[in-house]
């Protein structure tokens, strides 16, 4: 059982998943991609032809789903690793993620998973530093220029990325915002190992590693 958590937030394409995964590997900690959970709920709602704007119905469904994120993203045992990255999910996930009851269900699982880890967990998302783990060992906010973020998204169009960012920062339930005490790292033009080193350096300087 461990409550050691490095919490990482940031907008789409800021490098969260790549940096968090590399950091977890470097530390020998677990890695949790919380965005995959909201995508998994969205996929399940679309699969059942639910109206994603029907908040009570989607929340009821979310409560029943067995979701894993590692090594594969699965919903009730079905591998949806690729299916959660489609345009359909990109469009609908913002609505599902704005549903406070869905969030409550996901946040409870995230806290439990981190508590169950032996060593520690690197967790990335939109509300991890502000809502899910406000007392994290270290909080990091990643940014990057709009051009670079759009480039990194590859398959997803720049307009879709911009629309998700707008929805994530302006929603009422747990909007994306920078925690006051977060280490802010601009990843524009930087390699992943370089960003990981900066975070490791911060951990060391605070005597946390």
* Residue 53 CB partners (closer than 8 Å, separation 6+): 95
Scanning 66-74, 112-120, 123-131, 140-148 for contacts with ligand CDP by CB under 6 A, the matching segment is 123-131
Going edge to edge, which strands form the sheet with 74-75?
67-68, 74-75, 78-79
Scanning 34-42, 46-54, 63-71, 136-144 for contacts with ligand CDP by CB under 6 A, the matching segment is 34-42
Quick check: 22 binds ligand CDP (CB under 6 A)? no
CA dihedral 85, 41, 66, 131 (to 10 degrees): 100
CA dihedral 91, 94, 96, 97 (to 10 degrees): 150
Query: Taking the CB of residue 61, how many other CB atoms lie within 10 A of it?
Result: 19
Q: Closest CB to ligand CDP among 127 and 148?
A: 127
Give the x/- contact pattern for ligand CDP in 41-70, rule: CB under 6 A. Answer: ------------------------------
Scanning 24-32, 92-100, 185-193, 194-202 for contacts with ligand CDP by CB under 6 A, the matching segment is 92-100
For ligand CDP, the binding residues (CB under 6 A) are 12, 17, 34-35, 38-39, 93-94, 97, 125-128, 164, 168
């Amino acid at each position: 059982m461990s409550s050691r958590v490095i919490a990482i937030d940031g907008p789409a394409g800021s490098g969260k998943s790549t940096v968090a995964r590399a950091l977890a590997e470097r530390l020998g900690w677990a890695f949790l991609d919380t965005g995959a959970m909201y995508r998994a709920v969205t996929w399940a709602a679309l699969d059942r032809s639910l109206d994603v704007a029907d908040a009570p119905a989607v929340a009821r469904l979310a409560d029943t789903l067995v979701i894993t994120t590692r090594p594969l993203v699965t919903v009730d045992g079905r591998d949806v690793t690729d299916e959660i990255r489609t345009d359909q999910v990109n469009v609908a996930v913002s609505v599902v993620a704005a549903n406070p009851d869905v969030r409550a269900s996901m946040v409870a699982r995230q806290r439990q998973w981190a508590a169950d880890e032996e060593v520690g967990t690197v967790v990335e998302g939109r509300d991890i530093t502000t809502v899910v783990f406000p007392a994290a060992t270290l909080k990091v906010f990643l940014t990057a220029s709009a051009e670079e973020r759009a480039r990194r998204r590859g398959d997803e169009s720049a307009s879709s990325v911009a629309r998700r960012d707008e929805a994530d920062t302006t929603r009422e339930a747990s909007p994306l915002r920078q925690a006051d005490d977060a280490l802010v790292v601009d990843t524009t033009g930087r390699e992943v190992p370089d960003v990981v080193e900066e975070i490791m350096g911060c951990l060391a300087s605070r005597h946390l590693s």
